[in-house]
Structure 1
Amino acid sequence: YCPQFDALVPELTGREMLRFYASVAGLPESEVEGYIADALQSVGVSEFSDRPCKNYSGGNKRKLSLAVAYLAAPRIVFLDEASAGVDPVARRKLWEVIWRSRAGRCSVVTTHVLEEAATLCSRIGIVVSGVMACLGSPQHLKTRYGAGLQLDVECDDVSSLVTELAEAASAEVSIVEQHARYARIQVQVSSSKAAGGAGPERPPVAAVFRALLGREDVTDFSVTQPTLEAIFLRFAKAQEAAEAAETSMAAVPVSTGLFS
């Protein structure tokens, strides 16, 4: 188990820290040094193993916490916000460590960084207000719950392009951001289906492509699926709407009376 906050004794060295956890785990004394060497090597902190933990960088402290989790080569590992509190470069290195250590092991990762989930996990569950809203592979979630398409385009007349896309695809089209000729556009078909249902209606991709290819002022474009973050926000908004509706119903006064 790798907790969200480093469970390390500042005055102990990395090697001593692992030796302590090895004794807590009840590993055979004759095998402890071998387990420690393997754990240090797996996370890439062997060269710092004889330094006090208080002298480790934030990234190396998280790596040492991973080494504690991987000690004794467990088949199941729980990683709670394993990359929390580190800079983007250190986070990428931690992802590499977790990715290299996945063979023959089930890793359960909790994270608020959806890019981390998409990078490391073969199956993802999105939890909203303590309830598992959906579960599946990243591609399955995008296919089933992704609402619409995201377009990145370079165009002389973005406003007229938006109008044309809305007519061609019979969809809601909005400009997410625009800088001169560059624009990010969201194409989404209205759907009355709830977030937990069979999924939103898909915009006609062929119609979108025909509209883009038919304009001479479109010099470049790309079409992508929604991100996992967009899907998470969709579930969160649906949950907020449901909670608001419940609150509204609870606030409605109820009259009572006696009838003879």
Structure 2
Amino acid sequence: MQAFSLSRKEMSALLLSLTEKSDRNTLSILQDAWAKFHQEEVRKGMSLTAFLSTDIPPIMQKMIKGTKINGLSLADIAALGQLIEYSTLSATAMQNWVKRDFKEYLGSPRLGRKYSVNQAALLFIIDDLKSALDFESIRQLFRILFLAPERDDDDLVEPAELYFGYAELIEDMKRSPVLQAQGIAERSASKQYSWKTDSTLKGAMDKMMDKLTHLNPSEKDAVRNMLMIAAISVQTCYFQSLARQYCNAALFLDF
């Protein structure tokens, strides 16, 4: 069976579609994500055969059927996390984060025995950041963005919106040859690189920051910094995944 794969932008859009803050349909997000990897089959009229060979986790089956999702269990979040490209999220790791490492920020399930969309997004964010940062550094960043852990109404930005923000930034960088070429040129030309002087990255982030009209300048700087840190951490995830693939290939083909 072929695994269903989602980019972080697709996953963040999927999470937001489960809330009232998105006008996108959950099913259409999944359909677009699947079709992206099966263009040839769709063109040849072989969509059914291709879909039947795709592994669909139970939580996604509920979404496809249009079942209302009232919260997510840790098993649901782990199943979704395993669909994210370059991710190594596991249910065991999440249990440790919830019960110990990030208990003050994740807390107990918000929706009965299930976790909210923001809690799920926070788990995905932790998984991304841990590839480049230690847990104490991540907690310090969370204190800047989420202020009092026991309250949600004082957050500079909701976790689900933060996740979508840096996921969108990553996609802008990936799909824009101009952004990539200019960014590389400017970074190589400067001995002391700063994203704040990188016009291409700054422009991409400013576009997103314009949506956060409730923040003052210093608060916007805090969110900008977090977006950049998270985007770089995801690039670290990619290179770690690539290294594992090459290592596995080298070991397997040694005959």
- TM-score category of the 2 structures, normalised to the smaller one: under 0.3
| Structure of larger gyration radius | 1
User: Whose strand fraction is larger, Structure 1's or Structure 2's?
Assistant: 1
User: Whose helix fraction is larger, Structure 1's or Structure 2's?
Assistant: 2
Q: Which structure exhibits the higher relative contact order, with contacts defined as CA atoms closer than 8 Å and separated by 6 or more residues?
A: 2
